Amino acid sequence: MSLADYGLFVAGFTLVHGLAYTLAGVVDLQIAEFVYRGQDRHVDFLRDVNDPEERSHVSRTFLPAQILRGGLMAVVLLPLLGPIGDLDPVVRVAFLGGLMFVYADLASAVPFPNTIEGLVYLRQEYVSRDAFLAIQFEALVYSVLFAVPAGLLLF
């Protein structure tokens, strides 16, 4: 592959990630508002998007953060493009979906209400079945929205 091919892959990966992440977040906010919004939100250590100043910070940093995240995730996969591209398209989609769901979420080293690390390290007030399932739903939606176009278009 040429340098231009690598650049197109990174750009495409970043675009697919950004769109999938945004859509999954919009869907999840409709069913999991209790996790993210208001004074009684389940993860009160996150910025409250109901507060204008905190919402402004999130709005300003959201897009640059997703571009950085997508770019970093894409660069890590560059040495594996050939082997991943050689997979059957269905297997490739399943692999990418599983990679995002497991590595970027469930088995992430970040303690959060929906990760294995969170179940170990978070105080009980931040761990609940409802929050775990609501955030896992978002992760699952993201994984599918990412894996299908990425697996079929980028390799």
- Predicted confidence at residue 2, as pLDDT, reads 92
Looking at 35-39, 124-128, 131-135, which range is the least confident one?
Answer: 35-39
Indicate the residue type of 117: E
- Predicted confidence at residue 147, as pLDDT, reads 98
For the cut 90, the answer to whether the pLDDT of residue 137 exceeds it is yes
For the cut 80, the answer to whether the pLDDT of residue 39 exceeds it is no
Could you give the number of structural domains in the chain? 1
Domain enclosing residue 74, as ranges:
3-153
For the cut 90, the answer to whether the pLDDT of residue 18 exceeds it is yes
* Cα(58)–Cα(150) distance, integer angstroms: 26
* Cα(2)–Cα(92) distance, integer angstroms: 22
In this structure, are residues 34 and 133 in contact, taking their beta carbons and an 8 Å threshold?
no
Q: What is the mean pLDDT of residues 56-71?
A: 96
- Predicted confidence at residue 65, as pLDDT, reads 97
In this structure, are residues 59 and 25 in contact, taking their beta carbons and an 8 Å threshold?
no
CA-nearest of 42, 39, 34, 29 to 127 is 42
* Cα(26)–Cα(51) distance, integer angstroms: 18
Task: Quote the mean pLDDT of the chain.
Answer: 93
Higher pLDDT, 7 or 33: 7
* Cα(137)–Cα(12) distance, integer angstroms: 24
pLDDT tens by residue, 98-120: 999 999 999 999 999 999 999 99
* Token pair belonging to 125: 């007030």
* Token pair belonging to 114: 């929906």
